[in-house]
Amino acid sequence: MTDAILEAIRSGVRVYDLGMPMFPGMPQSPNHPIYTHTLPRRHGDMVRTDGGSAANDFLATGTHVGTHIDALAHVSQDGKLYGGLDAALASKGGRFRELGIHTVAPIFRRGILLDIPELLNVEECAPGYEISPDQLEAAAASQGLSISPGAVTLIRTGWGQRFPQGSEAYLGHATGVPGVGEAGATWLADQGSFAVGSDTIAFERLAPGGGHSLLPGHRVLLVERGVYIIEALALEELAKAKVYEFTFVLSPLNLFGATGSPARPLAVVAGA
């Protein structure tokens, strides 16, 4: 591909970065291994004869940390994964050969954003607020959208603004976190969503003081309906620009047998 063609492509689209930054101490679910990053080799530790030097990194992280996508192997119900697979047998050998994140091909699909605070005329949804199917439908209608089968449906609650404020504000353990409940998750699946996502730590509503103790939306989406979940998305720039329809791009890391993957999703729209 020539430089002229590449420049035409670049000038004809705008790309919105939907990934949160990853750094030690960032807000993350307490159910997953923490993210750590260090430099085992720094510049000057080893210097070549020509004066050159290189630094390198060591990372340790859970796969459900920062902006990430859940594989269908992530959640089971009554010992069964999506499609009725036996969860214990499926994880034999320490990895999921079926339904692991390596089975998720790069995603390049129609994406839509449902801006719930815009619908409610608030800065952010209240702590522990449950977004109803009627509100999801109303948000789509007010934004002139239809949720076509195979689309990636993203839900803004406004809580992405809390991510830089730290864990207490973003995780909302004592206060609860807004999101859809079982009914909203069912509605999203009924529309034929290929994947869903939000700007919160667990996608769905978390009750005050309940943390991640009950996640019926995950059961509906991952176990019963085979819909992928993307969490901790950065949606503020997209909402501020009132970009409600776009091409959604996400490629999970090719981690064989893993239950999820950190990701840096993109929303691509026509026009500079």
φ and ψ of 112, to 5 deg: -135, 150
In tens, the pLDDT along 98-121 reads 999 999 999 999 999 999 999 999
What domains appear along the chain, each with residue ranges and CATH number? Answer: 12-20+63-270 (3.50.30.50)
pLDDT at 2: 56
Q: Count CB-CB contacts under 10 A for residue 121.
A: 6
- The model carries a pTM of 0.94
38 forms beta bridges with: 58
| CA atoms of 257 and 124, how far apart (whole Å) | 36
Mean pLDDT over 164-193 rounds to 95
Mean pLDDT over 67-82 rounds to 97
Picking from 234, 268, 247, the residue whose alpha carbon sits closest to that of residue 66 is: 234
Question: Which 3 state secondary structure label does DSSP give 56?
Answer: strand
Picking from 168, 163, 201, 217, the residue whose alpha carbon sits closest to that of residue 68 is: 201
| CA atoms of 188 and 111, how far apart (whole Å) | 13
